[in-house]
A and B are shown apart, each in its own frame.
Chain A
Amino acid sequence: MPAGEVRRVRFRLVRYLSLVVCALAASLSAFPSPLEQAGQQQPTLPPRSSAAVQPQFLIVLDAAHGGADTGAHLAAHLDEKDLVLALSIRLRSMLSARGIPVATTRESDVTLPPAQRAAMANAHKPAACLILHASDSGSGIHLFTSSLPPAQPTTFLPWDQAQAAYLQKSLRWAAEINSAMTHAGVPVTLGRTAMQPLDNMTCPAAAVEIAPLTKDGAMTAALSDPDYQSRILAGLAAAVESWRRDWNAQP
């Protein structure tokens, strides 16, 4: 057989085979699937349940620094990280005794980066966040909110500007603290600052820096003074109580 005849035969054979394959595929698609033959329905996604979540009033306490980050050296054998941790634990106990749920970012001397603190706080969707610091400069309470310009809440927020959408509520939260601390007889200095994790929190947030009490340049109450600490904690607890009343009154 000549070579040209062999190529023609091969070409015809391939063409017939491809036609047979196409016909088989068409006949298979025309038949119902075994699942439909059995009378079963195709699995579907469960209907999205409208999660009726009752928001819970919860406060997040962030004791600043910790672990290798000692913070300020306030006095001999007294670092900022230890003082604010002790105050955080005492405040948590006081609030829990009043029936207020509290979450803390740390309960021991561990190193936590600011981003992790903010992530932990944001995960709780708290009614308010309170960051505790201490310093040996100045007098009384230094109360700070974020210095970011206010922004409208959106679905996605830049991480370093997340607090901007909550700034109005943060200012009201700071006003509650200011009022309660003034009532407790502790002078308050209000300010705005750029600080992490404050700028990353998606909740009404304020940073409280506790300083010694001074009058005319002379110290009248040290940071380690138990009475002074109790006054501050009572003031903060009263601020949280007042914030809860306002929060419950919201529609």
Chain B
Amino acid sequence: MIPRYQRVLLWVLLLVSAVMAIFLIRMRERATDKLQADANAASPLTPPSAMPTSDVVLMLANDTDGSLVNTDRLIALPAEPHARARYLLNQLLAEYAKPGSPHPIAVNAGVDDVFLVPLPAGTTGGTLAVVNLSSGLLQAHPSGIETETMTLLSLIGTLHASMPEVTQVRFLVDGTPRDTLAGHADLTRTYLASSAAPPPPTAEAK
């Protein structure tokens, strides 16, 4: 025989449990409503501005005859110069990653950063571009004097064609100097993109 006070206590505990369950469910609904309201009240994200496409020149290498061919491409490029240079060079490497490329390099994004450093006006002037390559590019790159030289000339020529103010180019790999690209071409020296004086800045550049 269960004593009376225990039965009363049981019913009280059940009642309290039910009230607590109803309270928690209600609190959860209110929290959900609040998050939903905050999400709706927030200002909508501005859509990404469509980058204007521009006609750029890619200097594509061909291992068969050792040539560099100027090829026009319509590519949307960022306006910011550093991002523009990096995106441009990665677009060039993407061309080499396509099947049947005459200069095959099996890597899509091999340029991590491009730093543009203005050179002192007293010297040759222009801009020094420091191209930071990824180690993945070096691992994927075929070994050979011709193929490595073509890659470097292709990167330098493409950069200079779209950014004529770039007169000198240096290469880093993962942020540190490296002796060679894949065992042959020298990465320790500064390459001259053009010995000619850079053009005067345009109104847009100002």
- How long is the Cα–Cα vector from A137 to B147 in the complex, in angstroms? 7
A144 touches B189 (CB 8 A): no
A194-B65 in contact given A72-B142, A137-B144, A138-B144 (Cβ < 8 Å): no
- How long is the Cα–Cα vector from A207 to B144 in the complex, in angstroms? 11
> Taking the nearest CB of chain A, how far is it from the CB of B152, in angstroms?
8
- How long is the Cα–Cα vector from A214 to B143 in the complex, in angstroms? 18
- How long is the Cα–Cα vector from A65 to B143 in the complex, in angstroms? 12
- How long is the Cα–Cα vector from A133 to B183 in the complex, in angstroms? 11
Q: Is A88 on the interface with B (CB-CB < 8 A)?
A: no
B185 touches A137 (CB 8 A): no
Q: Is A176 on the interface with B (CB-CB < 8 A)?
A: no
Q: Chain A contact residues (Cβ within 8 angstroms of B): what range?
A: 20 to 34
A191 touches B146 (CB 8 A): yes
B189 touches A137 (CB 8 A): no
Q: Is B145 on the interface with A (CB-CB < 8 A)?
A: yes
| Interface mask (B122-149 → A, CB under 8 Å = 1, otherwise 0) | 0000000000000000000011111101
A69-B183 in contact given A80-B143, A135-B144, A139-B64 (Cβ < 8 Å): yes
Q: Chain B contact residues (Cβ within 8 angstroms of A): what range?
A: 20 to 34
Q: Is B66 on the interface with A (CB-CB < 8 A)?
A: yes
> Taking the nearest CB of chain B, how far is it from the CB of A161, in angstroms?
9
Residues facing B in A148-204 (CB within 8 A) are 160, 189-191, 193-196, 199
- How long is the Cα–Cα vector from A195 to B185 in the complex, in angstroms? 5
> Taking the nearest CB of chain A, how far is it from the CB of B102, in angstroms?
10
Residues facing A in B159-190 (CB within 8 A) are 179-180, 183-186, 188-189
The closest CB in chain A to the CB of B191 belongs to A194
| Interface mask (A44-81 → B, CB under 8 Å = 1, otherwise 0) | 00000000000000000000010001011100000010
Which residues in A have some Cβ–Cβ distance to B below 8 Å?
Answer: 65, 69, 71-73, 80, 133, 135-139, 142, 144, 160, 189-191, 193-196, 199, 207, 209, 211, 214, 217
* A-B CB contact pairs (8 Å), 21 listed: A69-B183, A71-B183, A72-B144, A135-B146, A136-B144, A138-B66, A138-B144, A138-B146, A144-B149, A160-B189, A189-B146, A191-B66, A191-B145, A191-B149, A193-B145, A194-B149, A194-B185, A194-B186, A194-B191, A195-B185, A214-B64
Which 6 A-B residue pairs are closest in the complex by CB-CB distance? Answer: A135-B144, A72-B143, A189-B66, A194-B186, A142-B146, A193-B149
